[in-house]
């Protein structure tokens, strides 16, 4: 295995695919990450996780042993989105294998993929966000009218979302109360926990956060990118807007005031640190004049060179190959720290 020196070649296993509904998005991200790591001068091994959950390398099923690593690589790069990849499950397995890996750890991954838990954490540290309610399927089935009455307090329109999905999958915008129960039923077909959010005024703004390496002048252990504004033609930023060609346009810098841009960056780092994230994250906001509201945090956003996160970092002076190289070095640095502290 290679050394951890700054100029050393790193051997990286790129994990892509997975069991979630974002399987195809992950495969696209994984292909781009492999190419970017090769461009950065590293050795890359592809690991594809099937929809059945089986891990394969070069077409052969992988068998792993706790404490024995993964394909003798230095770092694993889990380019996985949604449940069974971004929720702490794979991160826990990699910890058990004793493999350094890119991105958030077990607890931060689990918290940030659970939209309700993440918002509860943001409320606990008093970061501004839209009004919301979490609803469990069991409670709605047992007391539907009571739940609907409670949701009336949020006003209309509302957004109904499965709590553990990304890429805007399963989201319904509700304009009338009569449509709320069917929207909940639809969301419960994806997830037993649903989040219902009040609509927010203003524009959607996204900010990339990147961890700082030891010795860098970054007192908060992370740096925030230039914020970007997401412009889309539809009623809201849905799956098609995110992934269909021409579905959205990213304007960097966001067309908001300098003070609002500074506030976005401040809140992005605050959310990143409070949730225990490491390596990277994309934090999404609603901005209306000088009002900035945190929406959600994505620990492993889409990762092609033209994806929002990479575009934000590129506009902030970090090229795609350099970004990937830095994330792998951050992973190695974290592993050295853990070992120095008996972990």
Domain ranges of the chain: 11-102, 110-128+201-299, 132-198
Size of the chain in residues? 343
pLDDT of 279 higher than 70: yes
Q: How far apart are CA 326 and CA 331, in angstroms?
A: 9
The pLDDT assigned to 50 comes to 97
Check residues 289 and 236 and name the one with the higher pLDDT: 289
CATH number for domain 110-128+201-299, candidates 3.50.50.60, 3.40.50.300, 3.30.470.20, 3.90.230.10: 3.30.470.20
Within 10 A of 133 (CB to CB), how many other CB atoms are there?
17
CATH topology for 11-102 is: Rossmann fold (3.40.50)
Topology agreement, domain 110-128+201-299 and domain 132-198: no
Mean residue pLDDT of the chain comes to 92
Question: What is the rounded average pLDDT of the residues 44-63?
Answer: 97
pLDDT tens digits for 81-140? Answer: 988 999 999 999 999 999 999 999 999 999 999 999 999 999 999 999 999 999 999 999
297 Cβ contact list (under 8 Å, min separation 6): 112, 118, 271, 272, 275, 277, 281, 282, 283, 284
Architecture of the structural domain at 132-198: 2-Layer Sandwich (3.30)
Instruction: Show which residues are catalytic.
Output: 22, 167, 243, 282, 284, 296, 298, 302
Q: How far apart are CA 209 and CA 230, in angstroms?
A: 17
Residue 214 pLDDT class (50, 70, 90 cuts): confident
Kindly report the pTM of this predicted structure. 0.91
Residue 343 pLDDT class (50, 70, 90 cuts): confident
């Amino acid at each position: 295995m290679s050394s951890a020196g700054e100029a050393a070649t790193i051997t990286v296993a790129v994990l892509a695919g997975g069991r979630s509904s974002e399987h195809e998005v992950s495969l696209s991200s994984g292909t781009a990450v492999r190419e970017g790591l090769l461009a950065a001068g590293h050795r890359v091994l592809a690991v594809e996780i099937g929809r059945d959950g089986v891990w394969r390398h070069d077409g052969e099923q992988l068998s792993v042993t706790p404490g024995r690593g993964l394909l003798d690589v230095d770092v694993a790069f889990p380019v996985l989105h949604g449940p069974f990849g971004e929720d702490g499950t794979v991160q826990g397995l990699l910890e058990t294998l004793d493999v350094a890996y890119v991105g958030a750890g077990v607890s931060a991954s689990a918290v940030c993929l659970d939209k309700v838990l993440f918002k509860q954490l943001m409320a606990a540290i008093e970061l501004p966000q839209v009004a919301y309610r979490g609803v469990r399927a069991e409670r709605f089935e047992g007391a539907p009218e009571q739940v609907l009455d409670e949701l009336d307090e949020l006003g209309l329109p509302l957004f109904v979302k499965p709590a553990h999905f990304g890429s805007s999958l399963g989201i319904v915008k509700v304009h009338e109360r009569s449509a709320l129960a069917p929207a909940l039923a639809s969301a419960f077909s994806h997830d037993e926990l649903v989040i219902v959010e009040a609509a927010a005024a203003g524009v959607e703004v996204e900010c990339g956060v990147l961890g700082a390496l030891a010795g860098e002048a970054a007192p908060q252990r992370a740096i925030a990118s230039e914020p970007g504004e997401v412009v889309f033609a539809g009623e809201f930023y849905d799956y098609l807007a995110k992934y269909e060609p021409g579905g959205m346009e990213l304007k960097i810098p966001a067309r908001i005031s300098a003070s609002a841009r500074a506030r976005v960056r401040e809140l992005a780092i605050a959310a990143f640190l409070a949730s225990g994230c490491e390596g990277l994250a994309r934090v999404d906001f609603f901005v209306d004049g000088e009002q900035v509201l945190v929406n959600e945090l994505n620990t492993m956003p889409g990762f092609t060179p033209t994806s929002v996160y990479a575009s934000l970092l590129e506009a902030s002076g970090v090229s795609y190959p350099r970004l990937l190289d830095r994330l792998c070095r951050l992973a190695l640095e974290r592993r050295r720290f853990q070992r120095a502290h008996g972990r």
